[in-house]
Structures are given as C-alpha cells and as structure tokens.
Amino acid sequence: MNAKNGWRSQRARVTFDMVLGAAVFGIVGAAIGYYLNTTGSIFMAGAIGTVFGFMIGLLGGRRFFVSIICGALIGGALAALIAGRQAIPLGAGSGGAMGGFIGVQLGMLLDLWRQRKASVRSEPPADPPPEPTITGGGPVRLDSPPEPTDTRRS
C-alpha cells in the first residue's frame, strides 16, 4: 500500500510540473508573440510555449519554471520602469528567457557544489606528496658551494 501511495504522489508531482510548465511557457510565448503585434503570432508563440512547457514539465523542471517566473516578473517590472507600460510584454518575455538561462546555470552550479561537498566528506585525507629526489648520485648539499675543478691540462 505504501508503494502505491508513493507512485500516486510521484504521478501528481509530474502532473503538476507539466501543467505549471505549460502555463509558464505558454504565457511567456504569448508575451513574446504579443510584441510582434499580430494575432497569429500570439497564438503560435503561446502554443509552441505550451508544448515546450508540457514536455519540460514531464521531465520535472520545477526549479527551471520558478526561475522563469522570477525572470518574467523582474523583466516586466524593469521594462515598465525604463520604457513604460507598452514594453511590459517584451520585458516579461525577455526576462523569462534570461531567468531560464540563469536558472539552468545556477542549478548546474548547485549540483556541482553538492557533489563536491559529498566527495570531500567521503574521501579520506590524501597523503602528503613524496619528497623530491635527485637520481644518479648522493644527496646534494645546498649549504656549501661546489668544489672548484681544475680545468688546466697538465
């Protein structure tokens, strides 16, 4: 019974991610299509965004979607402050794209950081490196100058 509940919760999480992805990508696509100023571009960009969001949600990209939402909100707000209300859709679409890129990069860096932290904890401390040696002779003394050699012929 416990395995059945785990399967249901996993399925519900994936379904939620798919719906969230379709909504986020659909809205960002429609915002970009709105900037092109034709009704067909709004529909096409929104539909393509919905399909992409659905597929990424199927793969489980919840952190990715959150970064897109944050980027869209910040981009829309900055566009409104800088260029006025007419630039909000372009700022939101561009901010969503930038938020997605930054979210992916931060996600990869966080995963690398976690892996490195886990590997440092699991590995024993390394032995110190061996002392360098000179082959082909005895020890070299650095505290006295080398003995002069006679180069004259006798």
Report the alpha-carbon distance of residue 147 to residue 6 in Å, rounded: 81
pLDDT grade for 147, boundaries at 50, 70 and 90: low
| Residue 144 counted as domain residue | no
| Residue 21 counted as domain residue | yes
**What is 96-149 written as a DSSP string?**
HHHHHHHHHHHHHHHHHHHHHHHHHHHSPPPPPPPPP---SSSPPP-SSPPPP-
| Residue 63 counted as domain residue | yes
| Residue 127 counted as domain residue | no
| Residue 64 counted as domain residue | yes
Q: What is the pLDDT of residue 80?
A: 93
pLDDT digits (tens, 9 = 90+) for 36-91: 877 788 888 889 988 988 888 888 777 888 888 899 899 999 999 999 998 888 88
Q: What is the pTM of this model?
A: 0.58
How many domains, the chain?
Answer: 1
Which DSSP letter does residue 153 get?
-
Range of the domain at 53: 8-122
